[in-house]
Structure 1
Amino acid sequence: MSSKIDAFALLAMWLKEREIQNQSAHTLRAYERDVSDFILFCGKRNLPLSDLETSDLREYLAYKVERHQLSSSSLQRMLSAIRQFMKWAEHSEYMRFNPADNFQLKRQSRPLPGLVDIETVNQILDQPSPETEAQQQMWLRDKAILELLYSSGLRLAEVQSLRIKDVDFNRQLLRITGKGNKTRIVPFGAKAKEAVMNWLQVYPLWHGDFVPEANVFITQKGNPLGARQIENRVKFQAQRAGVNVDLHPHLLRHCFASHMLSNSGDLRAVQEMLGHSNLTTTQIYTHVDFDHLAKVYDQAHPRAAKK
């Protein structure tokens, strides 16, 4: 690899292979952005990628921190993209040496996700319907979205792409296509079922006849609801309920996971429902509730209290 053009050509080849492997469009865009930035950095310093050393990679990351004040998680993401690209280039014999192979950044402890207590979630989901008919219809759609986010721990993109044929009302199951186009089956509760069925009574007024391939959540003009629109409606309904919380779809997913884990203790089941490929990712929800811990100890340990 002797020039910047060659490096970008290789990047295009690598991205094409990742696309064939069913990487999501969002992930591919992030890979392209991070690796392109590194290639440009090398080009400005006349550093062919084939001649890079670990010190050059360290210089690049230091430059990003100094220039853009990047967080540790952002640096880890960038390094991961560069490492995977160079690993592919080395394996394909476009590079003799991968300087990112054994390069490590010190990882910061992962912060616990923010949480909303059950009472607050109920206040949002059980708030009264608006007065006008137009706002009532909007609320029925938004309530169905909120119920599914909390009932099944769905990601924003999973709610947005949910189709009518993916909902099994008889068994109360959702067929979800998650990250990497992986499919999983997730249950949803009775209140979520009621909310979705109520919304689907409004659906024909906005869209017309039901089509199995159609998105469950649409605009008043019958178009699929966008991610930003969903985020805005979630925030709006929290504000309408008088809740002082910056509510967003992923926060409801966090609440689902934490409340499920707190009540069941079944980490594997929560992992399956969230669609996590790695159990370590799910373990961030194992919060230590010391009051609950003390209560369990007092009840369970034979020498915890006087008889």
Structure 2
Amino acid sequence: MHDQLDAYLEHLRSERQVSAHTLDGYRRDLLTVLALCEKNAIHHWIDLDSRSLRGFIARLHAKGQASRSLARLLSAVRGLYHYLAREGLCRHDPASGLSPPKGERRLPRTLDADRAQQLLDGAVEDDFIARRDHAMLELFYSSGLRLSELVNLDLDGLDLAAGLVRVRGKGNKTRELPIGSKAREALQQWLPLRQLSNPPDAALFVSQQGRRIGARAVQLRVRQAGVRELGQHVHPHMLRHSFASHMLESSQDLRAVQELLGHADIATTQIYTHLDFQHLATVYDKAHPRAKRSTGNDE
């Protein structure tokens, strides 16, 4: 089993040319399955059946492994058995028809409108780093960009006169988004400083050496701004979630928010209706005279 697993991983590395990160994930998942097989006296991949694999999944779930992780593990098993079938080593796929246990869907963390304003309205030094970071924060919250969309943004995607930004999202799909007045102002203050680094290409956000800023660097700068202004960790997707939640709360237009976020499926956007309901429920509990919490003396 070890030899066939090693051959499959080498196939992924050399023929499929998957990333090192993906390869490590497949290796970890398949080694987990291999260990469970050995523990249950299954010594050949051909002897692993759907019933045994279902039992493995149930045990891992009972130990606290997340549904998403188990889905990834099943995907790794399917890939392995597809390879074994291609090599004439096995004719069945024990993962066929199996799905991971449904996990509890976690609602995304957001900032409320006051906290978002506090984050963005702090004093900004008139220097390269401060102006760049402020422009990034404003654009994240103004237009609901993904991290990858922001770091890949070029100057020609920006139309400040029209108040629009054009981004390329998932599935290589392009969409145009409005830029709020605060974000436009922050970008106008950043662009002259950007030129001082003599960037070799058209990247909108660059380091002091002129190189396109990377995703990890952006995450770090956003996190530092959150700690400095709010005393909490903030990440780029939290700003995107906050944008979506606040837009839906104000407009009640789910389709419009779907288009702004670039979601292919409206079901993905619908999670923000749960966030909006939570907000409304909290307001109701605090304000409605018939929704006051019992004091224990109402008998």
Q: Matched residues in 1 for 2:244 and 2:175: separation?
A: 16
1:54 aligns with 2:50: yes
Aligned ranges for residues 256-275 of structure 1 at < 5 Å?
Answer: 256-275=243-262
CA 1:107/1:15 → structure 2, altered by over 3 Å: closer, same or farther? Answer: farther
Residue 154 (structure 1) aligns with: 145
Show CA shifts across 1:177-231 (max 9, x none): 22343333322222212211210011111225xx6x5221111111221222212
- Choose from 229, 233, 247 the match for 2:221: 233
Which whole-Å CA distance do the structure 2 matches of 1:144 and 1:280 have between them? 31
SS of 2:153's partner is coil
> Secondary structure at the residue paired with 1:3?
helix
Root-mean-square deviation (CA), in Å? 3.3
Are residues 1:207 and 2:194 paired? no
CA apart distance, 1:262: 0.7
Q: CA deviation at 1:49?
A: 4.1
Tell me which amino acid in the other structure corresponds to 1:265: Q
Q: 1:42 to 1:252 in 2, by over 3 A?
A: closer
How far apart, CA to CA, are the structure 2 residues paired with 1:194 and 1:231? 22
Asked if the contact 1:3–1:48 (Cα under 8 Å) also holds between the matched residues in 2, the reply is no
Aligned to 1:32: 23
Deviates more, 1:279-288 or 1:33-42: 33-42
**Of 255-264 and 166-175, the range deviating more from structure 2:** 166-175
**Cα drift, residue 279 of structure 1:** 1.6
**Partner deviation per Cα, 1:80-100 (whole Å, 9 max, x = no partner):** 4544x2685599686522221
**Which residue of 2 is the match for residue 290 of structure 1?**
281
Higher relative CO (CA 8 A, sep ≥ 6), structure 1 or 2?
Answer: 1
The structure-2 alpha-carbon separation of the partners of 1:13 and 1:63, relative to structure 1 and needing over 3 Å to count, comes to farther
Instruction: Report the equivalent of 1:23.
Output: none
Given the two structures, how large is their TM-score scaled by the length of structure 1? Answer: 0.75
- Name the amino acid aligned to 2:268: T
Asked whether the equivalents of residues 86 and 100 of structure 1 are also in contact (C-alpha less than 8 Å), the reply is no
Note if 1:7 corresponds to 2:8.
Answer: yes
Give the match's secondary structure for 2:142.
Answer: helix
- 1:128 equivalenced with 2:128 (yes/no): no
Report the alpha carbon displacement of residue 124 of structure 1 after superposing the two structures with TM.
1.6
User: How far 1:41 sits from its partner (Å)?
Assistant: 4.8
> In 1, distance between residues paired with 2:59 and 2:14?
27
Aligned-residue sequence identity (percent) comes to 36
- The answer to whether the 8 A contact 2:29-2:76 is kept is no
CA contact (8 A) 2:61 2:67 kept: no
SS at match of 1:207: coil
Number of the residue aligned with 1:191: 182
Cα gap change, 1:90 to 1:126, in 2 (>3 Å): same
How far 1:271 moved relative to its partner? Answer: 1.5
Give the corresponding residue for 2:264: 277
Q: 1:178 aligns with which of 144, 156, 169?
A: 169
Q: Structure 2: how far apart are the matches of 1:34 and 1:109? A: 23
2:68 is aligned with 1:73 = yes
How far off is 1:140 after superposition?
0.9
Q: Residue 136 of structure 2 aligns to a residue in which SS?
A: helix
Q: Secondary structure at the match of 1:185?
A: strand
| Distance in 1 between residues matched to 2:116 and 2:219, nearest whole Å | 16
- Residue matched to 1:109: 104
Q: Quick one: which amino acid aligns to residue 77 of structure 1? A: R
In 1, Cα distance between the equivalents of 2:171 and 2:44?
Answer: 32
1:52–1:13 CA distance, 2 compared to 1 (3 A)? farther
C-alpha separation between the residues in 1 aligned to 2:52 and 2:15?
22
- How far residue 159 of structure 1 moved from its aligned partner, in angstroms, is 1.3
Gaps of 5+ in 2: 286-299
In structure 2, the CA distance between the partners of 1:277 and 1:293, relative to structure 1 (3 Å rule), is farther
Q: Once structures 1 and 2 are overlaid, which stretch shifts more, 32-41 or 116-125? A: 32-41
Q: 227, 249, 253: which is aligned to 2:240?
A: 253
Kindly tell me the number of residue pairs found equivalent between the two proteins: 275
**Judging changes above 3 Å, is the alpha-carbon distance between structure 1 residues 30 and 56 closer, same or farther for their aligned structure 2 residues?**
farther
Instruction: Find 2:129's aligned residue among 138, 152, 176.
Output: 138
Deviation at 1:12, TM superposition (A): 4.9
* Structure 1: 5+ residue stretches without partners: 20-27, 295-307
